[in-house]
Amino acid sequence: MEKAHGTGQALGRRAVLRSSLAVAGAAALPPLAAAAPAQALSGRPSADWGVQAGDVTTSSGLVWVRSDRRARMVVETSATESFRTVHRWTGPLVGPETDFTGRTALRGLPPGEEIHYRVLLADPDDPRRTGRPVYGTFRTAPALRKDVRFVWSGDLAGQGWGINPDRGGYRIFEQMRRLDPDFFLCSGDNIYADNPIAPSVVLPDGSTWRNVTTEEKSKVAETLAEFRGAFRYNLLDANLRRFNAQVPAIVQWDDHEVHNNWYPGQILDDARYAEKRVDVLSARSLRAFTEYFPVSTHRPDADGRVYRVLRHGPLLDVFVLDMRTYRNANSPGRQPDDTQGILGARQLRWLKRQLSRSRAVWKVIAADMPLGLVVTDGPVNFEAVAQGDPGAPLGRELQIAELLRHIKHRRITGTVWLTADVHYTSAQHYDPARAAFKDFAPFWEFVSGPLNAGGFPAVKLDGTFGPEQPFVRAPATANVPPGQGSQFFGEVAIDAEGGELTVRLRDEDGATLFTKVLQPGRVGQ
């Protein structure tokens, strides 16, 4: 029987969002959305872009806000939504150097508890002058065994399909919010910096798709201001703001945060761009990415990396990969020796080390690209891991083979791969009995998405790691717009009592399309 996870708290969590929903309508704009901060009317600072929480652990979390002008960020937390007793956290002074965004780290929080928070923005010259508080909630990770539920997907506002007020904006976020998950894993392509948003698109049946538009999204993103505007665009949707205020996020990035299929050192052959150097564009995008999400890039090795592990109590560790920043150039992928691969040597060593140290029952490997699905980049090159040759590992497959061999020989149990990228949903089971490379234990990979982007037909499987696909749901034609059975998300539920992990692949309306229950304590499934 399905457990009603968090239902006792759901009403309270929804009630505390009252200030976050002051702007009515699914795709209503923040009142100052069209005004630059310098043009804002005089008065108290305002946080019309909502709040977000992210990278939540048993004792900490990050809270994000954006002001309409210079302001001091202040966060107050409470065990109840009445806020009768509060703990105050003084955050940064936000200004133009961060596009008026700020993050405040909350530490020393109680494990496994509902945290009610509100963000105040204070006039830096008169701290008594504060704007209207904006409310949010999140649950800290449990210290003891407790049911876990989270959702994942990726790919937002792609192929020119933006916020359509006629269909209620980004409707999928409301479906995910209603499940009251502990967190949301966003598997990349949070924006489409290379896909402008036009005011309207004529559909094949002659009808018109309407988009909310902004100046920054009228062209490809090249400047820092344009990348910031691309991230800010999605926050015009009230469904997403409501979701952000209730569900903390674990966010990773992929290609469309910069440019389709990019890799380090690439020089673009794209007439739309005056700046052709991908390294310049990716640095600007990464800065905007870290400004617009509650994600910390401060690591012990101080290299500003996005890859990290989030520990969610004794049942779950989430290993967040970066399969973009350290990859080699896209190629036919037939080289017999490839130490850089798609992860880079340093990230691979880190992942092997952290998987070996993990004591969690389940180790979710959050990959922004699938393993055995053949994703092409032009007529001869390949974008992901697989390159269509079903034989022994070559190219980027060598690095994945090394990782899978490590998992088997170290007898690391409970690994599950979650990904997005291909704009459909599917389940793949990998088994050495079917594979050319056999030195690994069986495992599952689940694909979901897009959130609000074009749907695309399924791609081929590569036999190197022996994938079998018991489920796939994909459009028959390319770039099917949202609202035509082309949008998907996934849900993962872990039962505290028995430890089983259940994956459900769902459509935009929340209907379950496929279910798989995995048993704990096994090297392979």
What pLDDT is stored for residue 43 in this prediction?
81
pTM: 0.92
Identify the pLDDT of residue 298.
65
Tens-digit pLDDT string for the chain (525 aa): 333 344 334 434 444 444 444 333 444 555 444 444 444 435 899 999 999 999 999 999 999 999 999 999 999 999 999 999 999 999 999 999 999 999 999 999 999 999 999 999 999 999 889 999 999 999 999 999 999 999 999 999 999 999 999 999 999 999 999 999 999 999 999 999 999 999 999 999 999 999 999 999 999 999 999 999 999 999 999 999 999 999 999 999 999 999 999 999 999 999 999 999 999 999 999 999 999 999 986 665 656 799 999 999 999 999 999 999 999 999 999 999 999 999 999 999 999 999 999 999 999 999 999 999 999 999 999 999 999 999 999 999 999 999 999 999 999 999 999 999 999 999 999 999 999 999 999 999 999 999 999 999 999 999 999 999 999 999 999 999 999 999 999 999 999 999 999 999 999 999 999 999 999 987 655
Copy the structure tokens of residue 310: 């989030």
Query: What's the CA gap between 247 and 311, in Å, rounded?
Result: 17
- Return d(Cα 471, Cα 67) in angstroms, integer: 45
Task: Take residue 203 and report the two structure tokens written for it.
Answer: 């559909």
Residue 296: per-residue pLDDT: 81
Confidence at residue 275, expressed as pLDDT on a 0 to 100 scale? 98
Q: Is 434 helix (H, G, I), strand (E, B) or coil?
A: helix
Please give the DSSP secondary-structure letter assigned to residue 167: G
State the pLDDT at residue 304.
Answer: 75
Q: Which CATH superfamily is domain 50-140 in?
A: Purple acid phosphatase-like, N-terminal (2.60.40.380)
Q: Domains of the chain: which residue ranges? A: 50-140, 148-518
Residues 421 and 155 sit within 8 Å (Cβ to Cβ): yes
Q: Which are the contacts of 303, defined by CB distance < 8 A and separation ≥ 6?
A: none
Which of 188, 191, 178, 184 lies closest to 152 in space, CA to CA? 184
CB 293 within 8 A of CB 234: no
**DSSP string covering 86-115:** -EEEEEEEE-GGGTTEEEEEEESPPTT-EE
* Domain spanning 148-518, CATH architecture: 4-Layer Sandwich (3.60)
pLDDT at position 42: 56
pLDDT reported for residue 301: 63
Q: Is 412 exposed, middle or buried (0-12, 13-18, 19+ CB in 10 A)?
A: middle
Structure-block tokens of residue 152: 């994942």
| SS3 letters across 242-289 | HHHHHCCEEEECCCCCCCCCCCCCCECCCCCCCCCEHHHHHHHHHHHH
- Please return the burial class of 512, using the count of CB atoms within 10 Å of its CB with bins 0-12, 13-18 and 19+: exposed
